[in-house]
Structure 1
Amino acid sequence: MKVASLVDNVEYNETKPTIQVLMETETGKEIRIAFKEGHVMKEHKTPFPIVVEVFEGAIDFGVNGKIHHLKKGDLIALEGGVPHDLTATATSIVRLSLNKLDSAKRVEDVVSKS
């Protein structure tokens, strides 16, 4: 059994989203991304399917040029290879579910290039 919290010890960076791996299981990884309003993750792709949950706040989630306005409680799932970007329209906590074969380092690299 593993236990993690989306709200404990949240850290916000002033200039870019903060990435934290909360849990790793046999099948996947759960990552928390903490955004301040206005933070951006530029367009990128993932090699594997992902699920994104807006736990707190709101984001604009762009997919192939179309913006999806997501708010607290909303989920979006993407197949691998789909270009997407995120912009926080409010201070937000986002949960990212990754495939076991994907890496948190890849997500950190996206943030560092945004």
Structure 2
Amino acid sequence: MKKFNIYDNLEYSQEKVLISVMFDDEIRKEIRIVFSKNQIMKDHKTKFPIIVELVEGSIDFGIEEQVYTLKKGDIIALEGDIMHNLKANENSIVRLSLSKNDNTNRVKGVLKL
């Protein structure tokens, strides 16, 4: 058994979006992304499908030319190869579920773009 509480050791940084790998094994890849208000993840994509769940706060989730405002509890399933971006409207927590074929380091690399 593995356990992770999405609220444990939670901090908001004004300097950067914070990423924590919750699980990364042969079965699952789950990441917690913590945004302070107005922080962004620029346009990016992956060749694999993802699932984005907003645990706290509010974000604008841009998919190609459309922007969707997500609130606590909203979940988006996105196919691979689709350009997207995120902007926090307030302090927010996102749970990102990756394909087991994807790489958690890729997500960290998005912040360096």
* TM-score of the aligned structures, taking structure 2 as reference length: 0.95
Distance in 2 of aligned mates of 1:82 and 1:28: 21
Give the aligned CA root-mean-square deviation in angstroms. 1.0
Distance in 1 of aligned mates of 2:34 and 2:19: 7
Q: 1:61-90 CA deviation, whole Å, 9 max, x = no partner? A: 000110000000000010110000000001
CA contact (8 A) 1:27 1:99 kept: no
CA contact (8 A) 1:12 1:34 kept: yes
Following TM superposition, by how much is the alpha carbon of 1:112 offset from its aligned partner in structure 2, in angstroms?
Answer: 1.9
Aligned residues: 113
- The DSSP-based 3-state class of the residue aligned with 2:23 is strand
What amino acid does structure 2 have at the position aligned with 1:73? G
Percent identity over the alignment? 50
* TM-score of the aligned structures, taking structure 1 as reference length: 0.94
Q: 1:45-67 CA deviation, whole Å, 9 max, x = no partner? A: 01210000000000000001100
The answer for the alignment partner of 1:98 in structure 2 is 98
Distance in 1 of aligned mates of 2:47 and 2:10: 27
The answer for the alignment partner of 1:44 in structure 2 is 44
Following TM superposition, by how much is the alpha carbon of 1:14 offset from its aligned partner in structure 2, in angstroms?
Answer: 1.4
